[in-house]
Structure 1
Amino acid sequence: MKVLGFNQDASCCSVATSSNALRIYNCDPFGQCFELQTQVNQDENNKLNLQDSTEPRFIIGMLFSTSLIAVADKNQGWQRNRKLRIINTKRNSTICELTFPEEIVDVTMNRKRLCVLLVNDQICIYDISCMKLLQSVDAGVKADVQSRRGSLHTTCNVKMALSSDDRSILCYSAGSGVQGEKSVTNRIVVFDALNACPINQLNDVHKGKIACIDVSHKGDLVATASQKGTIIRIFHTGVDSEFDVNNPLFGEFRRGTRPSKIYAIKFNKSSTLLGCVGDTDTLHIFKLASLDNLPSSNNSEEVESMLRSKVAKESAGQLGYFLSKSVIPHLPNHKLTRDYAFVKVDEAVHHCFGFPEELPNKVYIAGDDGKLQIYDLPVTPGSCTLVKVNKFVI
C-alpha cells in the first residue's frame, strides 16, 4: 500500500492499495468513502516491472472534503500519464478529462484554481469553475525531458505549492544557475494564480536544490527544505504590505545535523505550526511562535559545509575535542530553534501527515504500513501522545 496524502483540511486521506486501486478515506469518523479501480496495461507492466516498483501509481489532488478530485493514472504507460481525470466521487463519474503534451508529475488545487506540473517543468494553471487554461508557466529549468519520460521514478526539477484560500498564491522553485553540469533550482517564484501574474521572487533560498516547499493557508509565508534537509527556512512571499524585499527571511529551524531526504513540509491552517517528514525515524513539528525573527545574515549551510570539511581532516583522536571547542561554538545555525514536538516512527515506512482543521490540537500520521494514527500535540515541548490507530483495508 502507498499513502498518497491528505486533503487541505486533513478530513480525508488517499491511498493506493494496489497498482490499480485508489481509495479515499474519511479520517473522522474513519471509513472508506470512494474507490477507483483501473486496468493495468500488461505490456507496460512487463516493460517497467510495476510489481517491483516502490513508486505510487496514482497522482491525486483533492478539493477539501468536497466530491471533486483530480487523478492521473500511471498504469497505462507514459502516453496515458498525460491525461488528468476530474472525477465526482459521489456520482463516481468523470466530469472531464484534460490531456497534456508531457507526463503529469504533480497536481494541486483550491476552490478557484487547478495547477498541474509536467515533467518538462511546465505548470498549467486552470480556472476550476470551467476548466479553462489560463496560463502555462515555464519555470526556466533546462532539463533532458526525453530521459525522464516514461520512467517509473519520474523526476522533475520543479516543486510547487498552492495556498488553500481563494487568494490562490502559487509558489514554485525555479532555476537560478548551474552547479557542475546540473541546473540548481534554489529560487522561489511567488505567483498570483488568481490573476495569472507574478508577484515576487526569492533568490538563493538554499545553497543546493530545493527538495520540498509549502505555502501557508493565506499565501503570506512559504517554507522550503533543500536536498540536504538539515535546515527548514520560512520566507515572506510579498503578498502583504509588511514585506521587506531586502530581508524576506521570516526564520529558520534546525531539523537535524545529519542530511535527510525531506518528503513533505506542511503548515497548519493558522500558520502556527509546521510539520516535516523525512526518511528518518522522527517526524518533526515546529512552532512558528518560537522564531525570534532575527535570522543571521551568514549563509549557515555554506559555513557548516566548510567546517565539516575541516572536521574530516582531523585525526580520530582529536575529533571530539575539535567538535566541542572549535566547530560547535562557531556554527551559525547552532542556536537555531529545533522542533516543538515530534513523533517516533519506523523509518522503513513512508509517512505523510495532516493537521486536522477541526481538531487543532491533534495531528494525523498515515503510513505505507496501512495505519492512520492520531496523536495529541503536547502542551510543553516533547513527544506527541498516540490516542488512536485506524487501519486501511489493504
Structure 2
Amino acid sequence: KLLHTLETASNPRGLVELSADTDTCHCALPGSGPGQVLYYDAQRLHALSTVDAHRGTLACLALSSCGRLLATSSDKGTVIRVHSFPQGQLTHTFRRGSMPANIYSLSFSPGVLQGEAYEHSARLLCAASSTGTVHVWSLEAQRGATDNPKKTQKASQLPLLSGERDFASFKLRAPAGTHCVAALRDSCPEGRPEQLQHSLYVLTEHGAWYSYRLDPLCSDRCLLQDERRVQLSA
C-alpha cells in the first residue's frame, strides 16, 4: 500500500538515491526548489534535512554506502559538491572543469566489509561526464567544512578552495558525448585494511568496459588493467 507521497521539483531524470545501510534506510531526492536536496528517513517516513546544493537544476546524486555523505552536481556540471548528514554540512567543493558538461554518474568508494559493517568507505569520489573524462577526487581532507557542524551553509556562499582539484583523471577512448558510468571498488589483500586498494570500473553505452587501478604513489595515478567488450541487451 502507499505509505507516503513527497512533492519535489521537476525531476525528469528520476533522481533518487537510497542508502545501502539497512539500519538507517535514508534516501536523497530533489527538494521543492531548484538545486535543493531532501534527505529523508524512508523507514520512519520523515524529512531529516534539506540543503541548497546548487543554484541550478540537479543533474546527478550519489550517497555513500553508509548514507552519511551525498555528492551532487547541477545541469551545468562544472562543480561537484559533497554534504554530510544529518546536519547537511557542506564538506567539499570539487572543480570538474570550466566548460559545462552533463554528469552521467557519481560514485563513492564503498569501503570493505569487516565483520558486519563497511569500513574505510567514501575515501574517494568519481564522476563520469559527457566530455569523455572520468575524474577521481580524494575525500580524506575535510576541506570546506563549516566551523560549526550544526550550522549549514549554502553552497553558493562557500568558495572553491585550492587543493580541491581531482586526485586523478583520464580520457576515455570514445567520442565526446558517449554515455558512460563509473564506479569504484575497494579491496584489502589478505584482509589487511592498511593495504586498502582502489579500483575503478567504467562502462560505456557501446559496451566498452575498462578496469583501472588507482595508485596514489604513481605519477600516472590511473593504471589501465583490463579492457573488454560486453554485450548490452536492449
For the superposition of Structure 1 and Structure 2, which TM-score range results when normalised by the shorter chain? 0.7 to 0.9
Q: Does the 8 Å contact 1:231/1:254 carry over to 2?
A: yes
Match of 2:183 in 1: 354
Q: Deviations over 1:306-364 (max 9, x none)?
A: xxxxxxxxxxxxxxxxxxxxxxxxxx426251110112112242211122344742111
CA distance in 2 between partners of 1:335 and 1:214 (Å): 24
Q: Does the 8 Å contact 1:223/1:265 carry over to 2?
A: yes
Match of 1:280 in 2: 131
The answer on 1:253 being equivalent to 2:121 is no
Q: Deviations over 1:49-80 (max 9, x none)?
A: xxxxxxxxxxxxxxxxxxxxxxxxxxxxxxxx
Match of 1:292 in 2: 143
CA distance in 2 between partners of 1:261 and 1:173 (Å): 17
Q: Does the 8 Å contact 1:225/1:232 carry over to 2?
A: yes
Q: Does the 8 Å contact 1:158/1:174 carry over to 2?
A: no
Alignment of 1:1-394 (within 5 A): 133=1, 135-141=3-9, 156=12, 159-166=15-22, 167-176=24-33, 184=34, 186-202=35-51, 204-238=52-86, 243=87, 248-269=89-110, 270-294=121-145, 332-333=159-160, 335=162, 337-345=164-172, 346=174, 347-358=176-187, 360-380=197-217, 382-393=220-231
SS of the aligned residue for 1:339 comes to: coil
Deviation at 1:388, TM superposition (A): 1.0
Q: Does the 8 Å contact 2:8/2:30 carry over to 1?
A: no
Which blocks of at least 5 consecutive residues in structure 2 are unaligned?
111-120, 189-196
Say how many residue pairs are matched.
206
Which blocks of at least 5 consecutive residues in structure 1 are unaligned?
1-132, 144-154, 177-183, 304-331
- TM-score of the aligned structures, taking structure 1 as reference length: 0.48
Mark the CA change 1:251 to 1:295 in structure 2 (over 3 Å): closer, same or farther.
farther
Q: Does the 8 Å contact 2:19/2:64 carry over to 1?
A: yes
- TM-score of the aligned structures, taking structure 2 as reference length: 0.77
Between Structure 1 and Structure 2, which shows a larger proportion of helix residues? 1
Q: Which has the larger radius of gyration?
A: 1
Mark the CA change 1:258 to 1:299 in structure 2 (over 3 Å): closer, same or farther.
farther
* Amino acid across the alignment from 1:209: T
Q: Deviations over 1:284-307 (max 9, x none)?
A: 01100144244699977699xxxx
Q: Deviations over 1:227-278 (max 9, x none)?
A: 111111111121xxxx4x6xx1112111111111111111111111111011
Provide the aligned C-alpha RMSD in A: 2.8
Mark the CA change 1:300 to 1:214 in structure 2 (over 3 Å): closer, same or farther.
closer
CA distance in 1 between partners of 2:227 and 2:142 (Å): 33
Deviation at 1:212, TM superposition (A): 0.7
Q: Does the 8 Å contact 1:220/1:236 carry over to 2?
A: yes
Q: Deviations over 1:63-117 (max 9, x none)?
A: xxxxxxxxxxxxxxxxxxxxxxxxxxxxxxxxxxxxxxxxxxxxxxxxxxxxxxx
Mark the CA change 1:295 to 1:261 in structure 2 (over 3 Å): closer, same or farther.
farther
